[in-house]
Amino acid sequence: MKEILHKTYKFSNSWTGTIIIVLFVIFFVAQAFKIPSGSMKDSLLVGDHLFAKKFAYGIPMPHIPFLEVSIMPWSDKLRLMDGDKPKRGDIVIFRPPHNTKQHFVKRCVALPGDELFVLHKDLYIHYSEGNEWIEKNFKEYDILPFAGKLWVKDPYMKDHPGIHHDDKIVDDGQSPMPIFNFAPIKVDKDHYFMMGDNRDHSNDSRFWGAVPYENIEGTPWFVYFSIDKNWEIRWDRIGKTPTDLESSVYLDKAIAERVKEDKDDYGIY
């Protein structure tokens, strides 16, 4: 046993062993990501560097970092092994269906079988569990009866206060229509509807559809570094999980930063 441990130790200290261990961690355990856009403000900020938990929803097909080349280039599969599925309200890292070379970070708002629509910016969801389940579990929420079904209005804003709208974005023909009104749809089997917390500045499932389970990579684990546009380090965010960052201590600072840097040409991310 000692001999095996000694050989393992020597191998881990070699260049080959180090590379294999690093690749194993990146492929199957954790991978570093940077939040490049403002679509998840005020929950996650531009300049947040975080580790993604790669095994949260099964095991995605490993890709070589930066090159985004699959380790199995002869296969077009994006998933190596199935596992848990995203839950409503989870922040999810995934490859969007229109460009699987990219990674997006959004919040899962609807599961397979759920129905939803957007009216005057507000999100309405009829959960697949049905009317009785909705009446029992959403007593403190606004509920709209429509077409024989109950629809919960903006069901995630209470639990995830980083979700917000921009009062400057109005329906004057200058912004994309799905921001304001989106026709009722039912989420397909093995698909998940994703939306950014910065609702009026998010390029998400309203524009290109629900995300197949196969495209899902993981979930943010914790922030290991954060820096704002002025190159000032946000020391208080380092080591924090997305759940930690939803507390008023961090949200108040995030909102203040957003208001300070807000610009008229702020677009869709």
Q: Is 255 exposed, middle or buried (0-12, 13-18, 19+ CB in 10 A)?
A: middle
> Between vectors from CA 16 to CA 14 and to CA 21, what angle results, nearest 5°?
95
- Active-site residue (options: 54, 106, 205, 226): 106
**Residue 234 CA: distances (Å) to CA of 33, 41, 50, 154, 254:** 17, 15, 13, 30, 10
Cα(56)–Cα(51) distance, integer angstroms: 12
Q: Could you tell me which of 138, 258, 154, 125 has the C-alpha nearest to residue 201? A: 258
The active-site residue out of 39, 43, 202, 205 is: 39
Indicate left, alpha or beta for 73 from its phi (over 0: left) and psi (-120 to 50: alpha). alpha
Pick from 225, 209, 233, 206: which is nearest to 39 by CA? 206
39 is catalytic: yes
Sheet bearing 115-119, strands edge to edge = 143-146, 149-153, 122-126, 115-119, 181-186
Considering Cα of 197, then 269, then 215, then 18, what sign does the dihedral take?
A: negative
Two structure tokens written together for 130: 């049905």
Residue 263 annotated as catalytic: no
Spatial contact of 91 and 159, defined as CB atoms under 8 Å apart: no
Q: Which residues belong to the active site?
A: 39, 106
